[in-house]
């Protein structure tokens, strides 16, 4: 099987939804088994530019089996009520695998002045203040619920790269109650990139190979929530443990990941359908912790054509 045939397989299309007849742990193990079966059929590793000749499919299979077992072990430990052991299992698994293939973890950066968006649902024609469009302040951390990449009680800042993805993340609310703020970074921002690489430059390079190796971890972070009203969401186990690993092992500002609310038909998608979660490295007793982002404008959607997200009017909010 060639890389072209491999990436055309629907298994690699994310996000995924757990069937009602299954559960999180069983479904993860099922797609991991499918992944290994597909990987075993690859015959053209020697065509990957920059890959060492010592990297063979048999050695790759052996390392990936260890990688997948480490992820499922972390899930089992978490279910057994051992979250600290689950973290150690996942941290060791990722660190050991990355040590053998550094291209698995792609580090990206945004230059100064990049635009990001933060949205909230408002009511009664009430316009949120600038600070209310940031992360929940530390003195109100009791209001922080579980989120994909953050645990209860610990604020994180989630931003969309476009207004559209913010709208999708809020489940397409009525535009009359949809409020957005635009933020820009005042320093260079670095992030771990969990989105697919650029396939237009070819499939046979170390970036694409690294994505293929990291795909099981990315897939485990890209499952739609089966029960949104549940207090415990198993789909968040691996993303939350991953964020802890990133906080402990990497000098980056956040994680870039594709939205799980926008379905994809292929692994190659046009448009910026991704979010960023920024780590709060400082933990003051009150207030906010990110100094490299500045609110530059409120964006109030013009209530016109309801069939698509319309243009916005910019109001200065400095």
| Percent of the chain at pLDDT exceeding 70 | 88
Supply the pLDDT for residue 316: 37
Buried b (16+ CB within 10 A) or exposed e, 140-171: ebeebeebbbbbeebbbbbbbbbbbbbbbbbe
Residue 237 has pLDDT above 80, yes or no: yes
* Domain boundaries defined on the chain: 3-108+190-252, 112-187+281-316
Q: Give pTM, 2 decimals.
A: 0.89
Pairing outcome for strands 178-185 and 254-258: unpaired
Q: 124: pLDDT confidence band, cut at 50, 70 and 90?
A: low
Q: What is the mean pLDDT of residues 176-189?
A: 86
pLDDT digits (tens, 9 = 90+) for 298-314: 555 543 344 444 444 33
Q: 270: pLDDT confidence band, cut at 50, 70 and 90?
A: low
Task: Supply the mean pLDDT for the chain.
Answer: 85
Residues 6+ apart with CB under 8 A from 214: 104, 105, 194
Residue 295 has pLDDT above 60, yes or no: yes
């Amino acid at each position: 099987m060639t890389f072209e045939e491999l990436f055309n397989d629907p298994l690699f299309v994310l996000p995924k939804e757990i069937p009602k007849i299954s559960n999180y742990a069983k479904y993860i193990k099922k797609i991991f088994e499918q992944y290994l079966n597909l990987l075993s059929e690859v015959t053209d590793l020697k065509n990957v530019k920059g890959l060492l000749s010592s990297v063979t499919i048999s050695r790759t299979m052996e390392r990936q089996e260890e990688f997948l077992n480490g992820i499922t072990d972390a899930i089992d430990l978490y279910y057994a009520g051992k979250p600290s052991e689950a973290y150690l299992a996942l941290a060791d698994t990722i660190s050991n695998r990355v040590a053998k293939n550094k291209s698995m973890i792609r580090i990206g950066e945004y230059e100064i002045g990049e635009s990001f968006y933060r949205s909230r649902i408002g009511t009664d024609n009430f316009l949120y203040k600038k600070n209310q469009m940031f992360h929940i302040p530390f003195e109100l951390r009791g209001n922080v619920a579980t989120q994909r990449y953050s645990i209860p009680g610990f604020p994180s800042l989630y931003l969309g790269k476009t207004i559209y993805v913010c709208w999708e993340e809020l489940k397409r609310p009525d535009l009359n109650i949809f409020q957005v703020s635009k933020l820009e970074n005042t320093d260079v921002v670095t992030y771990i990139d969990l989105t697919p690489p650029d396939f237009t430059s070819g499939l046979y390079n170390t970036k694409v190979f690294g994505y293929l190796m990291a795909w099981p971890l990315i897939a485990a972070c890209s499952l739609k929530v089966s029960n949104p009203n549940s207090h415990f969401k198993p789909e968040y186990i691996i993303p939350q443990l991953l964020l802890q690993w990133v906080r402990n092992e990497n000098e980056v500002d956040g994680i870039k990941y594709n939205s799980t609310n926008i379905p994809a038909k292929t692994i190659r998608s046009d448009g910026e359908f991704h979010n960023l979660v920024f780590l709060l490295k400082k933990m003051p007793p009150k207030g906010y912790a990110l100094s490299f982002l500045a609110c530059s404008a409120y964006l109030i959607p013009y209530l016109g054509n309801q069939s698509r997200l319309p243009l916005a009017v910019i109001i200065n909010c400095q």
